[in-house]
Structure 1
Amino acid sequence: IIHDRYDHHFLNEDNPSFRDKVLTAENVCRELLEDVAPLFDGNLARLVAVHLRETPERSATAYADGAIEANYWFDFSAARRTVSPHLSVAENEKLFGISTSEHGHNYRARLTLRADSVPPEPALGTQEEISALIRLLRIQLDHKNLNRDVNALRGKPITTESLSRFILQSGSNQLPLSRVRLHERNDFFAEAWRDGGMFLGMREPFSAAHRLHVLSFSDAQNAELFGKCNNPRGHGHRYVAEATVGGEYDERSGALANFEELRSALRQAIAPWRDKHLDLETKEFRDKPSTGENIVRALWPKIDNALQQRLVRLRLWETANNRFTVRRT
């Protein structure tokens, strides 16, 4: 479908679906979902969403229930001390460690707008409105010392969680933002939602080998189902696990969770699998296939128990194009 209808095509003229539609990322994403969904008719799996990245700064997501999201990324650099004025020196050092010293980050923020259906106007917010909002946020934050130079943050905790919430609140004065994700590092982010939800995520890579093989299937069945991934010698991946916790934002500390505790829980859960052949050297996959679905399901209780059942989502990238997700329901 992608090759025949989209790839290397002038969509305005070559794809009849867009003859009367504005070619926004949201409209392309929605059309892709409608084109691909029938492939799953009669299948136990069903298509729930299509993610489309137009550029590193622009993406969209279309959901099977009709909802649509527009995402805009921007960068800024800033210095800070991770501290709360409501905590003692000892409490700050216990919670934030070396981050209480002055340091800097190259931040990357994602602004998300959401509608229950594709709106009649060309996009969720015009390009002029989005550009103006990003300019305003950069003026407030870029090349600033967040503790000293941003008036709206004075006397408040300076954490990744509080900063994501500040961007959401500040941006929502201009556009109806649904949520904001803020990466202070590639492997660590906070996310603030319009409904008050707050989330904190951590990523951790690990390398392991496996073979996709079901013991109860014939060789022919395994070959048909898994193709070259059924190679008897196995193959390897550099997996990336992403654990996200949710909960109440603590106004006193400005924190949702302890960075070191989150990282430790993730690393300890992964440690027995690191640099191993999952089928031959781990107990979890001696009798079950080491598919991405099974790996992420086996990881969930290990991490969730270490985090006192605060885990809300666990993602596992097997490759850049293969991602598996478990969510708390």
Structure 2
Amino acid sequence: MIYIERKERFSAAHQLYNPNWTVEQNDAVFGKCANKNFHGHNFTLIVTVKGEINPDTGFVMNLVDLKKIIQEQVIEKVDHANLNHDVDFMLGKFASTEVLAEEFWKILEPAIAEHGCQLHRIRLEETINNAVEYFG
């Protein structure tokens, strides 16, 4: 089994806020991330794919194809967007990095499978210090 990965970057705004809680509860749990005017991050998305090497190409998956899938199905929808309001697959969902990673998986997994390999991991770095990894 061989693992390959592709990194993409995007900038997006979001708010961490539970509408079932008081403003005080949200502030206590989420701090500045509950700001009514939202806040933003420069995210790094790392997509890891696994599979066997195709003897005709020497690839697990053509990285040009992987880049195109990630760009068209994820990055173009989230880059310079408000995750709480502008992104169709995030509407009505909690805009945490954890939920975002799960939603990216749901989008990318079938598209990658069409190329004869498997999505292994989504790593989403929200800041230089904070990251989420999701393995489906």
TM-score scaled by length of structure 2? 0.90
1:291: which partner in 2? 96
Aligned pair partner of 2:80 in 250, 264, 275: 275
1:244 & 1:285 partners in 2: Cα distance? 22
How many corresponding residue pairs? 132
**Structure 1: gaps (5+ residues):** 1-196
SS in 2 for 1:242: strand
TM-score scaled by length of structure 1? 0.39
1:263: which partner in 2? 67
- Higher relative contact order by CA 8 Å / sep ≥ 6: 1 or 2? 2
User: Looking at CA atoms only, which structure, 1 or 2, has the larger radius of gyration?
Assistant: 1
1:259 & 1:230 partners in 2: Cα distance? 37
Which amino acid is 2:53 matched to?
A: Y
2:56 & 2:78 partners in 1: Cα distance? 38
Aligned pair partner of 2:120 in 312, 315, 321: 312
Which amino acid is 2:127 matched to?
A: T
Cα distance, 1:284–1:222 mapped onto 2, change above 3 Å: farther
C-alpha RMSD of the superposition: 1.4
Q: Identical aligned pairs, as a percentage? A: 29
1:284 & 1:233 partners in 2: Cα distance? 21
SS in 1 for 2:95: coil
Cα distance, 1:283–1:267 mapped onto 2, change above 3 Å: same
1:221 & 1:310 partners in 2: Cα distance? 41
2:27: which partner in 1? 223
Asked if 1:254 corresponds to 2:51, the answer is no
1:326: which partner in 2? 134
2:43 & 2:27 partners in 1: Cα distance? 23
Equivalence map 1:156-171=2 (5 Å):
none
Q: Which runs of 4+ in 1 moved over 6 A?
A: none
**Structure 2: gaps (5+ residues):** none
1:210 & 1:311 partners in 2: Cα distance? 26
2:46: which partner in 1? 242
Cα displacement (A) at 1:202: 0.0
